[in-house]
Structure 1
C-alpha cells in the first residue's frame, strides 16, 4: 500500500466540521468521496485534527492509503478537479507508512481573526471574523503571556473528547494586522490543543480586552482547572487551522501548506 499525505485549505462555512457524520456535509466526507471516484473503492481518510462546524483551514493535514497501482496518480490535480469550490488540495505527496498525520505531529498553529470596529462591518467578512469591537491591546498582550509554556488547560477544554492528559505547551502567542485596518489576527502555536481550546483562550482574551477581567485571570483559571469558571467560547467563524508541523523548526507559518497558499494567492489570514 502507498500512503499519501495531503495538505488542505477549506472554507468551513458550509461544512458541519471535519469529521464524517451521517447525512451531513463534512470535509472528510467530500474528500473520501473524491478519492473513491479515482480508486473506484472506498478509502478512509485520516485528519490531523477535527475542526468544528464553521472553522476554516489553511494547513489541515490528512493521509490515506491506496494500492501501489495508484502511485502514478497526480493526486493534487486529480482531487482538485473533483472537490467542491470550498476545499482544495495545496500539496499531495507520498510518505512513509510510518507517517501519521495526527500522531506524528509535534506542533500545530491556529489563527483567530477579530473585527475591532463598532461603527461599521464589512458583510463579506462575516464568515471569517468575530465582531468583538475595540479592545485594550496592552491588557490583551499581557493576558497572552500567561498562556505561554506548559500548563494544564482543563479550564479551557470543552467536553466531548476522551484524552489521556489535559497538559499542553504553548510555544508562541502573538498578534498582527488582519486583511483590513479593522481586523486583528491572533496566532497561537502549541504542542497540541484540546477540544475548542483556542476558541476558549480567545474568549478569555477578548473579555480581558473589554476590561471585564484582568490579565492575571488567565493564570488563575489555569490554576483552578475548572471550565465552568472560564469565559464563554469564542464563535467558530474566526478560527483557522493554519499549519501542522512534523519536525520543521519554528512555529509561525513556515509549513509547506501556508507557503503554497501564499504563492497561490490564497488568503492566509481568514
Structure 2
C-alpha cells in the first residue's frame, strides 16, 4: 500500500471548485478519474484546501493511498499526459497539472497534517477593461492607495478572532481565532505596463472566504472608503457587515501549503 502526496496547479476558471460534485467538472473529480485510469484502481483524494469555483492554485496538495504497481515518478507523467489531452497533447497545456508526486508515511494526511497555507490575491489596477486578464485578476479601475492598504494590513497581522472576515455557508468551526503570520502588498506591472497589486497572506488557517473578504476590505481602504485605523474596531466587533466586500474568486491563488511549523512561521 502506497501513500502518495501530490503537488498540483490549476486554472480554476472552468472548474466548479475543488470538491467532487455530481455532474460537474471539479478538480478533485478530474484528478480522481485520471489517477484511477493510471493506477488501475479507484482513487480517493484528500485535498488540503477546498477551493471555490474560479479560484486557482499554484501549490495545492492532496494525498491518496492505493495498492498499484506503477512507479511514483511514472504516475505523474502518465496522469499529466491524459490531463493535457493524451495522444493529441503535443505542444498543448491543459488547465490542471501535477507538479510533483512523492511517497509519504502511511499515516500522513495532506489536510490534517498541514500547519498552514499561503494565498496570493492578484489585483489589476487600471482603467481600461482587460478581457484577457479577467479570469486571473480582480480589476479595480480607480487608483488604490497601497500605503493605506499596508497600514490596514498591519492591524490584521497577528493572532485575532477573525469572525468578521467569515462568510455564511462554510463549515462550522470550533473557533474563529487564527494567526496571520504575514500580510504583504506588493506593487508591480504587467508586460504592458499596467499596475498590479499582489496581496500575499500566510497563516495557520483560514475561515470560509476569509482571504477574499480581507482583500475586499483592503481594497475599500485603498479607495478611501474605510480608514486603516478602523481595522481594530472591525476585528473587535466580529460583525461581517462591518468589514468590506467579498472580492471575486478570479484573483485568488492557493500558493503554498506548509507542513513544517517553523517554515510557516519563518523561524
Q: TM-score, normalised by structure 1?
A: 0.89
1:169-196 superposed Cα distances (whole Å, 9 cap, x missing partner): 0000112234514211110000011111
**C-alpha displacement of 1:121:** 3.4
| Residue correspondence of structure 1 range 18-29 to structure 2 within 5 A | 18-29=18-29
1:144 aligns to 2:153 (yes or no) = yes
Cα distance in 1 between the residues matched to 2:71 and 2:3: 9
Counterpart of 1:166? 176
Unaligned regions of 5+ residues in structure 2, if any?
Answer: 85-93
Cα distance in 2 between the residues matched to 1:252 and 1:12: 28
Cα distance in 1 between the residues matched to 2:189 and 2:131: 14
Counterpart of 1:243? 256
**C-alpha displacement of 1:220:** 1.2
* Cα gap change, 1:13 to 1:43, in 2 (>3 Å): same
Question: Is the 8 Å Cα contact of residues 72 and 101 (structure 2) preserved in structure 1?
Answer: no
Counterpart of 1:260? none
Cα distance in 1 between the residues matched to 2:60 and 2:148: 31
1:88 aligns to 2:97 (yes or no) = yes
Question: Is the 8 Å Cα contact of residues 109 and 252 (structure 1) preserved in structure 2?
Answer: no
1:9 aligns to 2:15 (yes or no) = no
Question: Is the 8 Å Cα contact of residues 172 and 251 (structure 1) preserved in structure 2?
Answer: no
Cα distance in 2 between the residues matched to 1:122 and 1:233: 21
Counterpart of 2:74? 74
Cα distance in 1 between the residues matched to 2:189 and 2:106: 39
Counterpart of 1:106? 115
Cα distance in 2 between the residues matched to 1:93 and 1:248: 20
Counterpart of 1:121? 129
Cα distance in 2 between the residues matched to 1:232 and 1:32: 35
Structure 1 runs (4+) deviating above 3 angstroms are: 68-73, 248-253
Counterpart of 2:185? 175
Counterpart of 2:164? 155
Cα distance in 1 between the residues matched to 2:36 and 2:68: 15
Question: Is the 8 Å Cα contact of residues 2 and 66 (structure 2) preserved in structure 1?
Answer: yes
1:109-157 superposed Cα distances (whole Å, 9 cap, x missing partner): 0000111111x13321111111113111111010100111101111001
Q: TM-score, normalised by structure 2?
A: 0.90
Cα distance in 2 between the residues matched to 1:73 and 1:137: 44
* Cα gap change, 1:94 to 1:179, in 2 (>3 Å): farther
* Equivalent position to 2:203, from 190, 212, 233: 190
* Equivalent position to 2:223, from 206, 210, 234: 210
**C-alpha displacement of 1:56:** 0.3
**C-alpha displacement of 1:73:** 5.9
**C-alpha displacement of 1:252:** 9.9
Counterpart of 1:31? 31
* Equivalent position to 2:139, from 109, 116, 131: 131
Question: Is the 8 Å Cα contact of residues 115 and 264 (structure 2) preserved in structure 1?
Answer: no
1:49-90 superposed Cα distances (whole Å, 9 cap, x missing partner): 110000000000001101153455622112101114100011
Moved more, 175-184 or 103-112: 175-184
